Structure 1
Amino acid sequence: MSGTPWYRDGRLRYGVGIEDTFIPQERIGHRKLDEYELTQHYARWSDDLELVAESGAEFLRWGIPWYLVEPAPGEFDWAWVDRVAAKMQDLGLRCIVDLMHYGTPLWLENSFLNADYPERVAAYARAVAERYRDVWSDFTPLNEPVVNAEWCGQNGAWPPYLVGDDGFVKVTTQLARGMVRTQQEIADVHPDAVFVHVDAGFRYEGETTPVPRDFLEERRFVALDLITGRLESDSVLGRWLAAHGVSSDELQWFRDNAVTPDVIGINYYPRFTTVRIEDGVMTPERSDAAGLRDLVELYSARYGGPLAITESSLVGTPDEKLEWLRDSAQELGSLRSEGHDIVAFTWFPFFTLVDWLYRYDQKQPDEWFREFGLVDLVRGADQGLERVPNRSFQAFRELALRGR
């Protein structure tokens, strides 16, 4: 790579992300969930990207809808993505490409359980890297593997609809294999590629947990430990994986094929990242910048740096958003002065999203709007969703431009 990589120049960059959850599979009581469709990003993508640039953001976390781009195995339709990529290039926006955000194509039977999943997702990622080699250099192989495993493997909410620890382990190991193979395939065709691995930063409070709390605090690292080859058979996680069918040979495969993230992304939401568990009941608990500090210190001690805050925001009034912008910026400044290698902060999502619970009823999308963003969505008489920046938009812009 020519010159100093962006994540090694000592700066803290500000960016935003566009919510890109794609769960296209439908069944009785479970309707399709495509955030780009629900927020009209497919139609308004150009205006959205111009707003991103206007916000002062230096980078954008943005995802490709795999299920639409590869409608049949090995057959690609790049027309829409080509236009988006060209616009990003014109605007000078660095895109951290979110390759996998929870959902698989409809043709992949049993979703993540399909024996071919790791190779299929890697082949798709290689195709993206080859086509856009002159436009994009930053990639997230898979967003939030632990959340993915919870919804798809533990809670039975998304395909392949598994439940319990056994389901969690089965999905996790497949996701991790896909992450490794994705990084290997991209690096093969794009040697200068930067890999930003992103996971949710779980925090736990309470003592009467259904399983020991110290185990939960280890489990949140399982995917990153697997792909980086640091998970040993005799560790707490190694013994747990073995109890659910993961062989020593499989763990050895991860050690033999270990990949190294260039940047590790931590997702932290002050209104629900921290969960209180009492008598087996999990309840989101409000936290503050101290929770952000806690996670940065944990990840920094375990993996080193560079680190990025790849998602953070809250549903609240503009004043509450302004307060979180101020508090998080101050805490990150303190952490950086103490030697923690934090290279980016991402307000995610940039605009209103539709709550994932939309999938399970027949209410209109508007009834599930959650105003996380710097930009609100307001439906007009023509049913179009207008983009209306709120007061936190300008405050973010000032922070972002100050850091340049």
Structure 2
Amino acid sequence: MKSSFLDIIKKQRGDSNYAGDEHGGASGESGSGLPNGSAQNFMFATGIECSAPTINHGKTRRDQLEECGHYKHWKKDFELVNELGLKVLRYGLPYHKIHLGPGKYDWTFADEVMNAMKKMHVTPILDLMHFGLPDWLGNFQNPELPLHFSDYAKEVARRYPWVRYYTPVNEIYVTAKNSAKDGLWNEQLKSDKAFVTAMKNIVAASIMATHSIVECRPDAIIIQSESAEYMHEAKAEQSPEVKLLNKQRLISLDLLYAYPPDSEIFTYLMDNGMTRAEFDWFMVSEPPGYQIMGNDYYGRNEKIMKPDNTICTAEDVLGWYQITKGYYDRYKKPVMHTETNTFDPEQAPTWLWKQWINVLRMRSDGVPVLGFTWYSLIDQIDWDSGLTELNNNVIACGLYDLDRKPRPVSDAYKMLLKEYGQITIIPHGEMFEITNRDARLKVVV
């Protein structure tokens, strides 16, 4: 019997499996291990809750940085980010405290925290507007907002040139809806015309701010955080009002990404104050920079309208995967899961794993999901009333409580990070990076 090639190889080279992993690549690595900050790796993040709308017709500011103790404990908060093993933090500067008037800024707090983040190697996704405006700008009915906000964005980008990731305006749809259609925050109006006015002013502000950022940082990565929402209607005959509502949730991204809406939404916009010239301006082109579509999902985002018109939470009927897949099919943008939590601290670890499985399933179906965020690092205040009531209720949704002590979800996130912390943004993403490092390809996750 003739010798096989394998007999000859083993005789000459020894009994080896020849996996090739000693030279990198080959069968691949799992991608396990805490995040190491590598540019091609998936972005795991948390966030500092920084909402700052006004209520009581502008008389009361709900500053969550203040109410949750961040102004006092910011050093500890950044230490907790490192303790978790995270490299990325969604972080909002207090716009209402910094931008004092046209051309007037107070950078005292911002400089302190930004310099600290840089020294601690925390990569911020810098959130420039989170539900509220400086008092001097009034509210979202102000047509001067886009230019003033773009000036602010330019000053931020100039002052912190090392920052690459930005969310110019957090949750545009929620901001406009709560401020101008549901009457909860800021201008506290309740009309379609006010809603459309707020929507066009906020989207224009985001677009103009992005231009300002990219002028200073041409390689900027813009992560638009938008609420992934849906209203189910448990009625035999579907109402036109709910159909319209499920289309209205897309207006912000339609205008932002220059995606022509259908005739019903076009007519709605025209009937409620948008001019043809304004619409055409939005449709010219999407903003510059590398655009990532962030989708926030909480179980309470998804609702059911029952036959008696009462509404209940529809947690996970569709879930983050199904709702976000619809957004992806529409806009074809890389995706990030930019916010999630639950108000029940005992159920939070399970909710974390459920959201992560949504992310893995999305990736396995070929959608480029680039990051995941548990929001937020620290418990929040009064979100059970949507910040509309000053009750000082602690919402136990953080990785840590207000004393900076870990909640059960903190350990769950650490476990997740150790298992998946070095997977690549896209499978074998290292091949698309110009580098002289030895091959250490990750398997497809």
CA shift for structure 1 position 362: 5.1
**Partner amino acid for 1:373?**
G
From the superposition, tell whether residues 47 and 8 of structure 1 become closer, same or farther in structure 2 (CA, over 3 Å).
closer
> Is 1:372 equivalent to 2:397 in the alignment?
yes
Aligned partners of 2:42 and 2:65: how far apart in 1?
A: 29
Is contact 2:259-2:331 (8 Å) kept? no
> Is 1:15 equivalent to 2:45 in the alignment?
yes
> Is 1:293 equivalent to 2:321 in the alignment?
yes
SS in 1 for 2:373: strand
Aligned partners of 1:117 and 1:305: how far apart in 2?
A: 27
SS in 2 for 1:127: helix
From the superposition, tell whether residues 62 and 282 of structure 1 become closer, same or farther in structure 2 (CA, over 3 Å).
farther
> Is 1:387 equivalent to 2:387 in the alignment?
no
| Root mean square deviation of aligned Cα | 2.2
Aligned partners of 2:65 and 2:315: how far apart in 1?
A: 29
CA shift for structure 1 position 257: 4.8
Aligned partners of 2:71 and 2:149: how far apart in 1?
A: 23
Is contact 1:289-1:331 (8 Å) kept? no
SS in 1 for 2:404: strand
CA shift for structure 1 position 288: 2.9
Matches within 5 A, 1:274-285: 274-278=302-306, 281=309, 283-285=311-313
From the superposition, tell whether residues 358 and 314 of structure 1 become closer, same or farther in structure 2 (CA, over 3 Å).
closer
**Partner amino acid for 2:405?**
V
Aligned partners of 1:201 and 1:228: how far apart in 2?
A: 16
Aligned partners of 2:208 and 2:143: how far apart in 1?
A: 14
Determine what percentage of the aligned residue pairs are the same residue. 27
Aligned partners of 1:395 and 1:352: how far apart in 2?
A: 16
Structure 2 partner of 1:221:
250
Aligned partners of 1:72 and 1:163: how far apart in 2?
A: 28
Is contact 2:54-2:186 (8 Å) kept? no
Deviations 1:89-131 (A, max 9, x none): 122111101101011111113x222221110111111110110
Structure 1 partner of 2:30:
none
How does the TM-score come out when normalised to structure 1?
Answer: 0.88
CA shift for structure 1 position 305: 3.0
Q: Give the 4+ runs in structure 1 shifted more than 6 A.
A: none
Deviations 1:69-104 (A, max 9, x none): 112321111111111111111221111011010111
From the superposition, tell whether residues 298 and 148 of structure 1 become closer, same or farther in structure 2 (CA, over 3 Å).
same
- Number of corresponding residues: 381
Matches within 5 A, 1:5-404: 9=40, 11-24=41-54, 27=57, 31-109=60-138, 111-134=139-162, 136-208=163-235, 211-231=240-260, 235-259=263-287, 262-270=291-299, 272-278=300-306, 281=309, 283-288=311-316, 290-318=318-346, 320-356=347-383, 357=385, 360-361=388-389, 363=391, 365=392, 368-377=393-402, 386-402=403-419, 403-404=421-422
CA shift for structure 1 position 361: 4.6
Aligned partners of 1:34 and 1:244: how far apart in 2?
A: 31
**Partner amino acid for 1:370?**
I
Aligned partners of 1:7 and 1:196: how far apart in 2?
A: 18
Aligned partners of 1:180 and 1:69: how far apart in 2?
A: 21
CA shift for structure 1 position 217: 2.1
From the superposition, tell whether residues 73 and 280 of structure 1 become closer, same or farther in structure 2 (CA, over 3 Å).
farther
Aligned partners of 1:325 and 1:362: how far apart in 2?
A: 29
Gaps in structure 2 of 5+ consecutive residues = 1-36, 423-445
CA shift for structure 1 position 8: 8.5
Gaps in structure 1 of 5+ consecutive residues = 1-5, 378-385
Aligned partners of 2:74 and 2:357: how far apart in 1?
A: 32
Higher alpha-carbon Rg: 2
Is contact 1:7-1:343 (8 Å) kept? no
